[in-house]
Amino acid sequence: MISARPALLRAAGVVAAASLIFLALMAVVGRLPVTDEVAFKAPGRQWAAGGGFRAPELEGLIHGVSLDVTQAYCIYQPMYSFAFGLWARLFGFSPRTCVVFDAFIHVLLVFATLALAWRAFSSTGRARPWLATVAALAVLPLGTAGRPDELAMIFGSGALFLLLPPNVRTRDVALAGAALGLCFACSSGAGICLGLIAFTLLVRTVREDLAQTVRRCLIAGVAALAGAAVVLGPFVAAHPGAIEQYVAHSRLAFHDNTVLDSWALARPHGTKYYTLLIGTLFAGLLAATLLGTRAAWRQWARYGVGTCLVLFFLAVALPLKNNYTWFLGPWLLIAAIELGYSLMTAPGMRGRALLPLAVLAAGHVSFAAYFAKDLLVLGTLPASQKPAAAAAQLRATIPAGAGVLTSKDLWWFIADRNRTYDALLAHPPPSAIDYVALAANGSGKPGVPASLPLHWGAAFTSRFVEVANNLPTRRTYLLGVPITNSSYGFGAMVYRVAR
């Protein structure tokens, strides 16, 4: 243990240095807002401003419930939103604080991956530090910002860390259960997916002692309920309609999901999740097959059985949630790296390791390419399309206090001074809207704003009067080749709604 500590510190130092570079890039270059970011950050912003934990930006999202989101936000577990509210109270609300908040959570996930990999690679000897470092650094350009997912994954990774051999004590099982409860209090999807993996780790001793396995599962289950209750209990007690609102939104969110819908709606955004999942899953399985030993298959089973349970759950219950496969990302990366290393170090097998490692690298690059693309796009924006200039023009065009229907890309510029409504999710009365502000990101055509969702209809859009147009018109090129169909930036097309 003493000899391993300096190696762990060196690995942590390398990861810390890379993480500081990542944080600097996010603070200076930034990122684009993501789908549902308003829905997850709005109640925290409102609470930080002294308006209570509610989401007026989502007015009209749910009908027929006793507690509306404009009164209290209960459509999702509150931990991420409340954490953002604390962050906004400390550092204010702005595009930069939104971006750095999620970047900081991502760095914590990277270190959680380092700890999990360090525990998983305990039998690799001198290679342990650099294998764990590679696993952690591999996560750095991946991820999903603007959502509770990664905060939940940090707690889930802690649970898996406690349940990995060689020594899993009753105390570890109880702490792992509590960590899973906190994971669920951030994200129900992450709690279920990582809970299934944890379950397969708990039952690994079934051949040795069935009674002990059952006892461990009960301990973990009770601890998980207690961990979730610590966060959710006071909130439900304060808002008796919370459960009704949560259930109503869940039915709305998962209505008519099918596997075919999943493939249709996931492309091209979902490609990065699926290729990482398939690449890491297949790379580890291929390495175990080439090794062909009982130890290799046991090693793969430790990682793969839980993964298959999660995939079955997602295919049956949540096929549209392609981003949920990211919950498995760090776990599968560790599996593929460990099995790839086992193949490389097996006598006469080094050449065969090239194939699974190439598959792993291809899956990783296909995901990380989106991070590189966004950095290139945002880093080359003209001055008028950078957040500060675009925000100043938007705030000069729209008077303070006006009701604004806006896309996620512009919400963080005016939410502190205007009553805003999220164009994707909100259904307020049209009479409440004075202005409409739309960005061009993702429209697919340079200089053309993204379309409003269909539920707004022609009767509403026919009343638009254009008052400002600062949309970007330049696509991003790399070596003379365009890498985007849209022209990205933070400029806006602003309309006044005629009465």
Percentage, residues of the chain above pLDDT 90: 67
Q: What does the pLDDT read at residue 243? A: 92
pLDDT tens for each residue of 37-82:
999 999 999 999 999 999 999 999 888 888 999 999 999 999 999 9
Q: What does the pLDDT read at residue 1? A: 42
Q: How confident is the model at residue 168 (pLDDT cuts 50, 70, 90)?
A: confident
pLDDT tens for each residue of 219-229:
999 999 999 99
Nearest to 356 by CA among 293, 301, 289, 302: 289
Once rounded to an integer, what is the mean pLDDT over residues 477-486? 85
Q: What does the pLDDT read at residue 432? A: 93
Whether the pLDDT of residue 4 is over 80: the answer is: no
> CA-CA distances (angstroms) from residue 105 to 85, 112, 140, 286, 448?
14, 10, 11, 33, 34
- Run of H or E including 97: helix 95-120
> CA-CA distances (angstroms) from residue 242 to 152, 234, 390, 440?
20, 11, 38, 36
Percentage, residues of the chain above pLDDT 70: 95
Q: What does the pLDDT read at residue 35? A: 84
Whether the pLDDT of residue 260 is over 50: the answer is: no
pLDDT tens for each residue of 101-153:
999 999 999 999 999 999 999 888 889 999 999 999 999 999 999 999 999 99
Compute the mean pLDDT over every residue in the chain, rounded to the nearest whole number.
Answer: 90
pLDDT tens for each residue of 286-336:
999 999 888 889 888 888 889 989 988 888 877 767 888 999 999 999 999
Whether the pLDDT of residue 261 is over 80: the answer is: no
Q: What does the pLDDT read at residue 44? A: 96
Tell me the CB-side half-sphere exposure of residue 350, using CA atoms within 13 A: 3
pTM, rounded to two decimals: 0.94
- Bridge partners (DSSP) of residue 465 are 496
- Run of H or E including 239: none
Q: What does the pLDDT read at residue 472? A: 92
User: Token digits for 494?
Assistant: 């602003």
Radius of gyration of the chain measured on its C-alpha atoms: 24
Nearest to 372 by CA among 361, 380, 360, 383: 380
Rounded to 5°, angle at Cα 422 from 420 and 424: 165
